[in-house]
Amino acid sequence: MRNPLSKTIVEIKPSGIRKYFDIVSEMNDPDVISLGVGEPDFETPWHIRDEGIYSLEKGRTFYTANAGLLELREEINRYLNRRFALNYDPKDGILVTVGGSEAIDIALRAMVDPGDEVIIPQPSYVSYEPCAVLAGAKPVIIELKNENQFRLTAAELEAAVTDKTKVLILPFPNNPTGAIMERKDLEEIAKVIEKHDLFVLSDEIYAELCYTEKHISIANIPGMWERTILINGFSKSYAMTGWRLGYACGPKQIIEQMYKIHQFCIMCAPTTSQYAAIDALKNGDADVQMMRDSYNQRRRYLVNAFQEMGLECFEPFGAFYIFPCVKQFGMTSDEFASRLLHEEKLAVVPGNAFGDSGEGFLRISYAYSLEKLKVAIERLRRFVERLQPK
Amino acid sequence: MREQILSIIEKNSRIDLHELAVILGMEEADVVNEMEQMEKEGIICGYHTLIDWEKTSVEKVNALIEVRVTPQRGKGFDSIAERIYKYPEVHAVYLISGGYDLLVSLEGKTLKEVSNFVSDKLSTLETVISTATHFILKKYKDHGTVLDKKQSDERMQVTP
């Protein structure tokens, strides 16, 4: 029998997160506390769930338009306008997808040909690189630096560009580092983008979770809207991960090609989720605010706790992750995480699961109640004190 | 700043003040000052504990009583409300719009104790026109807290 498999897919490494998930779940120890989760701890606000239930009661159990309910796309545009001063045409500039993940995949497939290069700043979400490979592109990694607070600089971008570069993935606010890009940072890289005629896939799924100032999209920078596919969704801002609902916005020329892939591969995003999402956008601003305040309190708590225990860490301004450096202990991320898990029963994710430049760091999620964080941080403190006797 | 302090201590009045200062990004001394000031101003009226007495061996009976009264010239409802809230068994008194005037929340040890209070004390007040007593059979949610909520984390332990 011939080999049934595609060489491309076989060569793609399984996610480093998956490996760590297996280690934690094999322990099967009820005393293990995990700070390894990349989704909100809040349940979806009740009024949103109620709309989902109501749509089922009304028998709205059919496909929707491929691009998503028009009413939802209109609400998405209103929301982006209200929150981030962005405008997209609900008719042909917005596509409702199965989570932000689908949008990443189809945006890349719509924009690259074999041989094109896609620039991926890392540490970052685990799916950009495999999606670029599956789209036939060559991923080019930029290793973001702790001393830049893991922001992308114009010099780093300039150095990574070749005459084959087509797309830059811009993952801010960032998972796993919690880094953000401020307006001046975006303006700097926009010059490079324009100079080399690049396109941007801006993954702004954590846009609502910015703690110092309001999130700014690269599409807000003059000249960038035309070059940007903006990806956002409901998972993080409205605590709706399980509903699998995201969206992509951009110029008609790109969205209509993404629409084709979406139409053939997906048909449409889940109908129940779309009805619930309309309510989220119409009536969910207060929930978003409440969750943001709550994450921000936990963020301050952790920054303070790390300072007290002498764990080196830049202050993250976005998402719900903090990314401390453990190089001072002379261990790799894997060693540190593994010993922390076995000795103190605390699970965190090694930074290198998000790219080689995450080596020496840990991703700690604060999508947990303060009560849980306190217990977890006590365990981390004990561990760190054992490593550096006073 | 006050609003933020209040919204946190409303849910957890036992929070450590140092921790409260940290999570709000404030100085501990400022938090302490602000809270003392709010106590003086009567904004913070107490630090009570929410207890589900059902789970203890203590027997308690709670009732809500709708009371219709005749307001008094020059005093409105305030003086009759005061007559009522001075009884220690009265937990809460609210002036209500609609079909009746005062809603009285009452706690007693037995049904009899509560009904005696209504018939002997409350109904006999001169200005009270009528009462309707509703006994509480079960408390599902109180002060924004679901009393029997199971704490469980449905999420997978590690996700990207």
Q: Are residues A21 and A125 in the same domain?
A: no
CB-CB neighbors (< 8 A) of B155 in chain A: 37, 39, 41
Of the candidates B94, B105, B104, the one whose C-alpha atom is nearest the C-alpha of residue B60 is B105
d(CA A64, CA A273): 11
Domain boundaries, chain B: 2-40, 53-137
Rounded to 5 degrees, φ, ψ at A367 are -85, 55
What percent of chain A clears pLDDT 70, i.e. is strictly above it? Answer: 99
Residue A56 has pLDDT above 60, yes or no: yes
Span A5-19, mean pLDDT? 91
Comparing A32-46, A165-179, A355-369, B65-79, which segment has the lowest mean pLDDT? B65-79
d(CA A175, CA A150): 11
Residue contact A293–B4, C-beta within 8 A: yes
Mean of per-residue pLDDT scores for chain B: 94
Q: Are residues A76 and A135 in the same domain?
A: yes
Taking CA atoms, A40 is separated from A103, A296, A313, B49, B157, in Å, by 20, 13, 22, 29, 12
For residue A343, the enclosing domain spans 7-44+286-383
Is residue B22 a contact partner of residue A300, using CB atoms and an 8 Å limit? Answer: yes
Question: Residue A225 gets which letter from DSSP?
Answer: G
Mean of per-residue pLDDT scores for chain A: 96
Indicate if the alpha-carbon torsion angle A364, A367, A27, A376 is positive or negative.
positive
Residue A254 has pLDDT above 60, yes or no: yes
Residue contact B157–A298, C-beta within 8 A: no
Q: Are residues A148 and A217 in the same domain?
A: yes
pLDDT in tens, B11-56: 999 999 999 999 999 999 999 999 999 999 999 999 999 999 999 9
The pLDDT, as a whole number, for residue A389 is: 63
Domain count, chain A: 2
CB-CB neighbors (< 8 A) of A349 in chain B: 158
CB-CB neighbors (< 8 A) of B19 in chain A: 301
Given A226, A257, A283, the domain boundary residue is A283
Q: Say if A116 falls within a structural domain.
A: yes
Indicate if the alpha-carbon torsion angle B20, B25, B27, B32 is positive or negative.
negative
Indicate if the alpha-carbon torsion angle A193, A197, A198, A199 is positive or negative.
positive
Q: Are residues A249 and A335 in the same domain?
A: no
Residue A274 has pLDDT above 60, yes or no: yes
The interface predicted TM-score of the complex, written ipTM, equals 0.87
The pLDDT, as a whole number, for residue A33 is: 95
CB-CB neighbors (< 8 A) of A17 in chain B: 158-160
Of the candidates B68, B135, B132, the one whose C-alpha atom is nearest the C-alpha of residue B98 is B68
Q: Are residues A99 and A161 in the same domain?
A: yes
Residues 6+ apart with CB under 8 A from A20: A36, A337, A347, A349, A350, A353, B158
Residue B143 has pLDDT above 70, yes or no: yes
pLDDT category of residue A355 using cuts at 50, 70 and 90: very high
Q: Say if A40 falls within a structural domain.
A: yes
The pLDDT, as a whole number, for residue B150 is: 79
Q: Are residues A33 and A167 in the same domain?
A: no
What stretches of chain B adopt beta strand conformation (E)? 61-69, 90-95, 102-108, 128-135, 141-142, 145-146
Given A283, A301, A330, the domain boundary residue is A283
Q: Are residues A114 and A151 in the same domain?
A: yes
Q: Are residues A239 and A187 in the same domain?
A: yes
Span A201-207, mean pLDDT? 98
Q: Say if A108 falls within a structural domain.
A: yes
CB-CB neighbors (< 8 A) of B160 in chain A: 15, 17, 38, 125-127, 175, 353
The pLDDT, as a whole number, for residue A28 is: 87
The pLDDT, as a whole number, for residue B73 is: 83
pLDDT category of residue A14 using cuts at 50, 70 and 90: confident
Q: Residue B156's closest chain A neighbor by CA?
A: A37
CB-CB neighbors (< 8 A) of B22 in chain A: 300-301, 304
Q: Are residues A251 and A309 in the same domain?
A: no
Residue B151 has pLDDT above 80, yes or no: no
Query: How far B21 CA sits from the closest chain A CA (Å)?
Result: 9
Residue contact A297–B24, C-beta within 8 A: yes
What does CATH list as the number for B53-137? 3.30.70.920
Query: How far B45 CA sits from the closest chain A CA (Å)?
Result: 24
Span A271-291, mean pLDDT? 98
pLDDT category of residue B1 using cuts at 50, 70 and 90: confident
Q: Say if A2 falls within a structural domain.
A: no
CATH code of residue A141: 3.40.640.10
Q: Which residue has the higher pLDDT, B72 or B112?
A: B112
pLDDT category of residue B72 using cuts at 50, 70 and 90: confident
Q: Are residues A290 and A360 in the same domain?
A: yes
Q: Residue A125's closest chain B neighbor by CA?
A: B160
Of A125, A298, A347, the CB nearest to B160: A125
3-state helix, strand, coil in chain B (%, to 5): 35, 25, 45
The pLDDT, as a whole number, for residue A390 is: 53
Span B57-61, mean pLDDT? 94
A&B contacts, CB < 8 Å: 52
Burial label, A63 (beta-carbon count in 10 A; 0-12, 13-18, 19+): exposed
Q: Say if A389 falls within a structural domain.
A: no
Q: Are residues A211 and A97 in the same domain?
A: yes
Q: Which of A49, A293, A333 to mutate to test the interface with B (most CBs of B within 10 A)?
A: A293
Q: Which residue has the higher pLDDT, B72 or A341?
A: A341
pLDDT in tens, A163-198: 999 999 999 999 999 999 999 999 999 999 999 999
Span A382-386, mean pLDDT? 95
C-alpha neighbours within 13 Å on the C-beta side of residue A66: 14
Given A283, A306, A338, the domain boundary residue is A283
The pLDDT, as a whole number, for residue A244 is: 98
Residues 6+ apart with CB under 8 A from A382: A344
pLDDT in tens, A307-354: 999 999 999 999 999 999 999 999 999 999 999 999 999 999 999 999
Residue contact B160–A175, C-beta within 8 A: yes
Q: Are residues A259 and A330 in the same domain?
A: no
Residue contact A36–B155, C-beta within 8 A: no
Q: Say if A130 falls within a structural domain.
A: yes
Of B22, B153, B157, the CB nearest to A25: B157
Q: Which residue has the higher pLDDT, B72 or A272?
A: A272
Is residue A311 a contact partner of residue A303, using CB atoms and an 8 Å limit? Answer: no
pLDDT category of residue A208 using cuts at 50, 70 and 90: very high
d(CA B18, CA A300): 12
What stretches of chain A adopt beta strand conformation (E)? 33-34, 94-97, 117-122, 138-143, 165-170, 199-203, 228-233, 246-249, 321-322, 346-347, 349-350, 362-365
Residue contact A304–B156, C-beta within 8 A: no
Is residue A98 a contact partner of residue A266, using CB atoms and an 8 Å limit? Answer: yes
Residue contact A17–B157, C-beta within 8 A: no
Query: What is the crossing angle of helices A271-283 and A46-57, to 10°?
Result: 140
Residue A142 has pLDDT above 60, yes or no: yes
